[in-house]
Structure 1
Amino acid sequence: MNLTGTPDRLARRRASTARPLRTGLVLIGLLLIGANLRAGITVVGPLLEGVRDDLGLPPVLASALISLPLLCFAIFSPAAAPLAARLGLERTLGGALIILAAGIIFRSVPWMPALWLGTAALGFALAIANVLLPALIKRDFPHDGGRVTGAYSATQSAFAALASGLAVPLAGVTDAGWRISFGVWAGLALIAFAVFSPQLRRATMPRHSVAPALDPHPEQYRSPWRSGLAWMITISMAAQSALFYTIITWWPAIEAANGITSATAGLHLSILQFCGIAGNLITAAIIQKWHHDQRGLIVVLVPSNIVGISGMLLLPNLALIWSILLGLSTGGMIVFALAIFGIRTHHHGQAAALSGMAQSIGYLLAALGPAAIGAVHGSSNGWTAPLILLLALQIVQFISSWNAARPRLLD
């Protein structure tokens, strides 16, 4: 029997067996990072009154526990790509998970400055992870970016809803109250780090390409801040973020003002968030097929936003229908916004730079949008003017998203 080449064949067989396992582990690690991206924020809302009562915080200061992480997203997102270029994509993400766990624990200790320092650390870590996950997908799943983006968006949404739902029950488990409910989510960050840690042996510096003819050196890239296409993507992301966080903040109050009970309004908001998971997955499947041109998605998703907002304005007694519709459309738009970072770029380094730009401005509006809508509500003594303002925002959303969805790449 001829054994020539047998070791090579065995090595190839081992490599082919190991490759799916490695890809599977990378995907699991990526999904676990995604699970951490909102849980530390959404756990706060249901416990905000308890935190206020315990610490004697005024309402404006208490609401900063939610707005501060979003402001951190805006401030620190542009730093993610330079950090990854210096430290490596994997190590930067791993470090962000450790900082996230430390921040969650620190804000749970009984010391007032720790509450704010821990919240700021949490915001910094999430800003870095938000920006770099699309770059990781661009690198490791270049042909399945839409599906993977949808999967981690759905995981993110599911754990965000889970954190909201478990917040009050967990707070009642021990005398620590809201502190234990806040702190328990550090465990999820540490689990994600443990699963992702084998990737730390790599040190991908998103500064150069292995195929210069196709993916030129980043010094040859035009800065995304000077690209018209990048600004369309950024404005689309900003409009989506402002709408989503405004709905999460004010939708129950809008329903209550139209005679819907608080309990029913809260249920509708939960349904909206779970419909967002369906929107994540449906849009991901469509983007996977329409990888080059996504304008067909935009002509469905943005008008769905318009119908949902208009429905609440004109027929508020059908609030459940409008909540379902907005859940599906906003869930779809976030997948589009995240997937487009990889679709419109040549290389994962360029994807990280674009992601940093778009998420910086996007989350700045996400932090300011609910406050602005609240101010308009206060000055107009009703919700008609705020809803009309949200409808006007959808015109901006449609124009920017349509241009972002056109089949072209950044320079």
Structure 2
Amino acid sequence: MTQNNKPNIAHPILLIISILLIASNLRGPITGIGPILDFISNNLNLSATQAGMLTTLPLLAFAIFSPISSALARRIGLEPSLMIALIAITSGILLRSTGSSLTLYLGTCVIGIGIAIGNVLLPSLLKRDFPNQGPTLTAIYVLTMGVGATLSASTTIPMLNVANNLNVTFIPNWAFALAGTIILPIITMLIWLPQLSNHTKPAVDTPNIDSHSYMWRNKAAWQVSGFLAFNSFIMYAFIAWLPSILVSYGYSEHDAGYIHGVLQLASAAPAVILIPLMAKVKDKRTLGLAMTILAFIGITGLLMLHQYAVIWVTLLGFSCGGGFILGLSFVGLRTHNAHQAASLSGMAQCIGYLFAATSPIIFGSLHEATNSWDMALILAAATSLIWVSLAMFAGKSELINK
């Protein structure tokens, strides 16, 4: 196989469309499970802790496979690696939709592997092939991820109702609902096919854990990693359990699924606002404090005034989405060059996803122990206060030294 460093982008519009379609698959297969998690748990007799594992497993896959995704791309090429990511996502959706506990968990793991590869390699492709349109395309890219997640979260309950109306019996109604998410990755694979004529290498600053072992002993590196870790801890807890929380507060399954979609869309909105704003705000700690305080307001509002859940969820989603963008910007802000930034990014992703993987299980266990979501929300509020303090350290302008 011949390796090319300069891809053929004779049709840049088609390439951009393909990139955005791939981005739309990088969150939806996970968020789509939240609104029907109670149905799955009841049908398969899962405990809250076991149900939380359905969000935890993809995060563990992110932590394990994100650092090695760039090695895959360097071996077989960026374009084939992204096709492998799409095949894994599609296969995982198909597998988990067969209706058994074993295939549900196994398929979820396979989806996580595919998303991990796409998470690492797709931004690399975007930065390498469209360097002059980086901020604009990054904003659109993040927004597209949110739109894909919103569609998935908002359509699973309607798809479940379709299964009930059609009297589908060959698989459970929840499995039929999850199977509906397979349409988007199949379309994306078909549109990505022309790109397989290229076998290019990823950009040099693609996240990868390498010989920069000093990074793991550096205080500033841990500050940035901690900021992203607490961001992910809060976000994925609500991705997993928000619909169940809302149903316990009296919302219908349909409305809970809709508000869960609002969370996803709100998390994408900061890309449009923050990316141009960050160029104007010199002290990034100000933005970090704003985002983290919004999370505390959103969580406490949901706990105390849940009749206004749409408002609180919008604030929470905006906070977590904005915090994620800021966390990524801190990686560049605190490092000397692209190679060092890649090392810090790899470290932060590994720590962040491992930490985030605990939150769905912890939330589920607290609910199981107390038969209420109040303690889980109190924990989330306390976690957000720690996140506030981390914003003051992670957003410093001091560079990481060896």
TM range (shorter): 0.7 to 0.9
**In structure 1, what residue type is equivalent to 2:85?**
A
Instruction: Name which of 181, 186, 191 aligns with 1:195.
Output: 191
**In structure 2, what residue type is equivalent to 1:193?**
M
| In 1, Cα distance between equivalents of 2:275 and 2:397 | 17
* Per-residue deviation, residues 254-288 of structure 1 (Å, max 9, x unmatched): 5566x55446655544433333333332223323x
What residue is the counterpart of 1:168 in the other structure?
A: 157
3-state SS, counterpart of residue 158 of structure 1: helix
Instruction: Name which of 104, 118, 135 aligns with 1:115.
Output: 104
What residue is the counterpart of 1:238 in the other structure?
A: 229
Q: CA deviation at 1:368?
A: 0.9
Instruction: Name which of 287, 290, 296 aligns with 2:286.
Output: 296
Q: CA deviation at 1:27?
A: 2.6
What residue is the counterpart of 1:275 in the other structure?
A: 266
Q: Is the 8 A contact 2:58 2:113 kept in 1?
A: yes
2:130 is equivalent to residue 156 of structure 1? no
Q: CA RMSD in A?
A: 3.6
3-state SS, counterpart of residue 70 of structure 2: helix
What residue is the counterpart of 2:347 in the other structure?
A: 357
With over 3 angstroms needed to count, the CA separation of the structure-2 counterparts of 1:290 and 1:405, relative to structure 1, is farther
Q: CA deviation at 1:43?
A: 2.4
| In 2, Cα distance between equivalents of 1:344 and 1:94 | 33
2:387 is equivalent to residue 397 of structure 1? yes
* Per-residue deviation, residues 285-326 of structure 1 (Å, max 9, x unmatched): 323x34875333213211212222333455555444322322
3-state SS, counterpart of residue 200 of structure 2: coil
* Per-residue deviation, residues 197-233 of structure 1 (Å, max 9, x unmatched): 4444132155699xxxxxxxx9785664344433222
**In structure 2, what residue type is equivalent to 1:283?**
L
Q: Is the 8 A contact 1:138 1:342 kept in 2?
A: no
2:27 is equivalent to residue 38 of structure 1? yes
Q: CA deviation at 1:121?
A: 1.2
| In 2, Cα distance between equivalents of 1:33 and 1:392 | 35
**In structure 2, what residue type is equivalent to 1:102?**
S
What residue is the counterpart of 1:129 in the other structure?
A: 118
| In 1, Cα distance between equivalents of 2:19 and 2:395 | 25
**Structure 1 residue runs without a partner (length 5+):** 1-17, 210-217
Q: CA deviation at 1:103?
A: 2.1
* Per-residue deviation, residues 154-213 of structure 1 (Å, max 9, x unmatched): 21121112112222333425625444433343332233334344444132155699xxxx
What residue is the counterpart of 1:181 in the other structure?
A: 177
| In 2, Cα distance between equivalents of 1:316 and 1:169 | 24
With over 3 angstroms needed to count, the CA separation of the structure-2 counterparts of 1:261 and 1:192, relative to structure 1, is closer
**In structure 2, what residue type is equivalent to 1:234?**
S
**In structure 2, what residue type is equivalent to 1:95?**
I
With over 3 angstroms needed to count, the CA separation of the structure-2 counterparts of 1:223 and 1:127, relative to structure 1, is farther
What residue is the counterpart of 2:201 in the other structure?
A: 204
| In 2, Cα distance between equivalents of 1:141 and 1:405 | 27
**In structure 1, what residue type is equivalent to 2:158?**
P
With over 3 angstroms needed to count, the CA separation of the structure-2 counterparts of 1:119 and 1:252, relative to structure 1, is closer
What residue is the counterpart of 1:7 in the other structure?
A: none
What residue is the counterpart of 2:3 in the other structure?
A: none
Q: Is the 8 A contact 2:52 2:240 kept in 1?
A: no
| In 1, Cα distance between equivalents of 2:103 and 2:367 | 33
| In 2, Cα distance between equivalents of 1:228 and 1:144 | 33
3-state SS, counterpart of residue 82 of structure 1: helix
What residue is the counterpart of 2:360 in the other structure?
A: 370
What residue is the counterpart of 1:9 in the other structure?
A: none
Q: CA deviation at 1:118?
A: 2.3
Q: CA deviation at 1:344?
A: 5.4
3-state SS, counterpart of residue 46 of structure 1: helix
**In structure 2, what residue type is equivalent to 1:204?**
K
**In structure 2, what residue type is equivalent to 1:186?**
I
| In 2, Cα distance between equivalents of 1:23 and 1:349 | 27
**In structure 2, what residue type is equivalent to 1:304?**
L
2:82 is equivalent to residue 93 of structure 1? yes
Larger Rg computed on CA atoms: 1
**In structure 1, what residue type is equivalent to 2:224?**
I
Q: CA deviation at 1:240?
A: 0.7
Q: CA deviation at 1:22?
A: 4.3
**In structure 2, what residue type is equivalent to 1:163?**
S
Q: CA deviation at 1:99?
A: 1.9
| In 2, Cα distance between equivalents of 1:112 and 1:167 | 19
| In 2, Cα distance between equivalents of 1:233 and 1:188 | 34
Q: CA deviation at 1:98?
A: 1.9
| In 2, Cα distance between equivalents of 1:45 and 1:314 | 22
3-state SS, counterpart of residue 331 of structure 1: helix
Q: CA deviation at 1:241?
A: 0.9
**In structure 2, what residue type is equivalent to 1:405?**
G
Q: Is the 8 A contact 1:134 1:351 kept in 2?
A: no
What residue is the counterpart of 1:333 in the other structure?
A: 323
Percent identity between the aligned chains?
Answer: 36
**Structure 2 residue runs without a partner (length 5+):** 1-7
3-state SS, counterpart of residue 124 of structure 2: helix
Q: What TM-score, normalized by structure 1, do the two folds share?
A: 0.77
3-state SS, counterpart of residue 36 of structure 1: coil
